[in-house]
Chains A and B, each alone.
Chain A
Amino acid sequence: MQKHCLACESEASPLLRLENLSVHFRRDGGLLPAVRDVNLTLYPGGITCLVGESGCGKSLTARAILRLVPETAVISGRVLLQDTDVRTLPERALRRIRGRRVGMIFQEPMSSLNPVLTAGEQAAEPLRLHLGMSRAEARRETERLFAEVGIPSPHSRYEDFPHQLSGGMRQRVMIAMALACRPELLLADEPTTALDATIQGQILRLIVTQSRDRGMAVLLITHDLGVVAQVADTVGVMYAGHLVEHAPAGELFAAPLHPYTRGLMHSAPSRNSMQLDRLPTIPGSVPSLENMPAGCPFHPRCAEAIPRCAEAMPPTFVRGAHATACWLAAQPSRDAF
């Protein structure tokens, strides 16, 4: 796929390259594909959003980067963190990357935090483990981080257990923990989905500013196009395991090329929906892994499908910085393009 960068100078070298990343699940003696040949490049300081519906493989893509996948999953392809192929690293070496060069935050901060350790103790753990800080040093640094991510009275919050914190505060603790070792890459899987609208805005703003200030690359996974619109520099749209469209955010929102992307955008209620009598919809529902249609997996739901769509998965057509895996994107005669 194309190499470009919006938030940073264009000469910056890529931080992470996914090359034909695939994830299959072993089931009943066979392999079920869940992520298929994803190609994606992340640059320092840039925020890339992967968007799609449940089961499209977006979370699995992010988790496969650090091999945080179920035991039945088989990962193939290359995961290049600068020049290291993380996919083939031994577990020990990988553990030195997790939490140090690559930080992670997940959707449900309650289940990702240890309920019997105080917020401060666990946020300080990566500092002690990876950077070898003493207990006192780690505490000082953690309280500084707490303040940085907007946790009020960090000194006393350090002693709080997770259940004493609100959802928004827990997510801030998770972010402080993920940022502790100054990672080059932050993987954020639905970081605001469990939070309310006004708190969501606070957390997204925090992620954007931290990415800018630290030159940290962010891969943010979400089902919510509203979140994408607010934070993304580049966007990847996933459907049924495939990256079906990838483009700079402005371009994607102004001129989406894949019929699925267009369908998602039109069906999402916005402030303009009140004039509508009915919302535009995508018929049907997302296919399950076991019942993947042949050809382009979206063709049974696609209003624009042509016979070819049922026969073969389209390759990725690239125009400038805009990549689309759709047969229609190959037809220059269509006025939409």
Chain B
Amino acid sequence: MPGGVAKPEGPLLALKDVSRAFGVRRGWLGEQRRLIAVDRVSLDVSAGESLGLVGESGCGKSTLGRLACGLLAPSSGQVLLEGRALPLAGARSWAAGRIQMVFQDPFSSLNPRMSARAAVAEPLAAQGVPRAEQRRRAEEMLATVGLDGLGGRYPHEFSGGQRQRIAVARALITRPEVVICDEPVSALDASVQAQVLNLLRDAQERFGPAYLFISHDLAVVGFMCRRILVMYLGQIVEEAAREQLFAGAAHPYSQALLASMPTGASRKEGELLPPPLEGELPSPLNPPPGCRFHPRCPKAVGICRREPPAWKELAPGWRARCHLA
């Protein structure tokens, strides 16, 4: 956090037992069913920290991101910013501009008819900042993200990496306390990914926002975040400092994600890949009983099929939801 703001007690952003369900209909006249995309998730984000959230597609991590910034209302549970319940996003809300978001796809997240400057200034316009000041601050922010003097150009004139820089500038312009980054580099080429990740680090050092950094890529999350949450089928299954996680993840699902991470060396000649995780992510419409991971878990025993595991504290700041941890 930039100085001058009184430090509140407790975390900056907190999710308390947050769930979100969607109604899903199969076919035109099919019966309506409830899909629980996020199931009783609790997490804390402290001022200025980077919290990583890693999981595969369909695990609910993007829904969680939208809940955390007020784009979606929880079905139950609470999202608290400095202890106050976060209202749905809106220009007149007391929380306006305090939580921002950077999305995955820089091609669809920018309005093609808006110049880079206008796109970056838009959140200020919504807050009623005078035009001249909007423009000045937008130009300044564009320079900060490495697009000095390019404010008059339109999205199609920029490369994917540059568009993501615009998205970052737009997120930072209101000096938010929290930025939710939802797969911010997954759509970018390898050589550009590193540039944007470094930019996000620079921005954090300069402006001090906390990041909730959502990605399927454990290596990216490990670079960005000191603390990591692993999500599987709507639930957080492990929370750990990255050093703890990388040295010896406790949950078998985290272990599988780690095993699929690139090591930077090639496979030895004649050596086969490590045995991958069997099976697929079950449908969240019909989650397995007991531990949700048990049908794919190489270590599952009887109790895993019957009882959902409770959190187990392994060390300060390290916990896992596994009977065997």
Interface residues in chain A, defined as those with a beta carbon under 8 Å from any beta carbon in chain B: 6-7, 53-54, 166, 168-169, 196-202, 204-205, 208-209, 223-226, 228-233, 249-250, 252-254, 263-265, 267-274, 276-283, 285-286, 301
* Neighbouring B residues of A283 by C-beta, 8 Å: 195
Count A/B pairs, Cβ under 8 Å: 151
Given contacts A204-B273, A267-B190, contact A226 B262 (CB under 8 A): yes
Chain A residues with CB below 8 A from B278, complex form? 202
The answer to whether B264 and A265 touch across the interface, beta carbons within 8 angstroms, is yes
Determine the residue in chain B with the shortest Cβ distance to A285.
B159
Q: Which residue of B lies closest to A252 (CB)?
A: B266
Q: How far is the CB of B17 from chain A (nearest CB, A)?
A: 27
Which of B162, B194, B217, B222 has the most chain A CB atoms inside 10 A of its CB?
B194
Residues of B within 8 A of A230 (CB): 267, 273
Q: Is the CB of B189 within 8 A of A269?
A: no
**Cα distance, A283 to B195, chains bound together (Å):** 8
Q: How far is the CA of A277 from the CA of B202 in the complex (A)?
A: 10
A selection of 7 A-B contacts at a CB cut-off of 8 Å is: A197-B260, A201-B277, A204-B276, A205-B275, A223-B189, A279-B198, A280-B194
A273–B274 CA distance with the chains assembled, in angstroms: 22
Choose one: A226, A249, A270, A278; the contact of B198 (CB below 8 Å): A278
Residues of B within 8 A of A301 (CB): 191
Do A271 and B222 touch across chains, with their CB atoms under 8 A apart? yes
Give bound CA distance, A311 to B190, whole Å.
Answer: 27
With A197-B56, A197-B216, A249-B266 known to touch, is A223 a contact of B277 (CB < 8 Å)? Answer: no
A166:B280 contact, CB within 8 angstroms: yes
Interchain CB contact (< 8 A) of A273 among B191, B192, B219: B219
Interface size counted on chain B using CB atoms at 8 A:
50
- What's the Cα separation between A278 and B193 when bound, in Å? 12
Q: How far is the CB of A273 from chain B (nearest CB, A)?
A: 4
B265 at the interface (CB under 8 A from A): yes
Check if A223 sits within 8 Å of B190, measured CB to CB.
yes
Q: How far is the CA of A172 from the CA of B217 in the complex (A)?
A: 23
Which listed residue, B190, B256, B272, B281, touches A264 by the CB 8 Å rule?
B190
Flag if B191 contacts A267 (CB, 8 Å): yes
- Taking A204-B273, A271-B262, A279-B198 as known contacts, 13 extra A-B pairs with beta carbons closer than 8 A to each other, sorted by chain A number, are A53-B190, A53-B191, A197-B218, A198-B256, A201-B273, A230-B267, A230-B273, A231-B267, A250-B266, A254-B265, A269-B220, A270-B262, A271-B218
Q: Which residue of A lies closest to B55 (CB)?
A: A196
B192: chain A residues at CB < 8 Å are 285
Whether A271 lies near B273 (C-beta < 8 A) is no
- Look across to chain A and name the residue whose beta carbon is closest to the beta carbon of B191: A282
Question: Given A169-B280, A198-B56, are A229 and B264 neighbors across the interface (CB < 8 Å)?
Answer: yes
Contact, CB under 8 Å: B266 / A229: yes
Does chain A have a CB within 8 A of B96? no
Q: Flag whether B223 is at the interface (Cβ < 8 A).
A: yes
Contact B223 A250 (CB under 8 A): no
Query: Do A270 and B263 have beta carbons less than 8 Å apart?
Result: yes
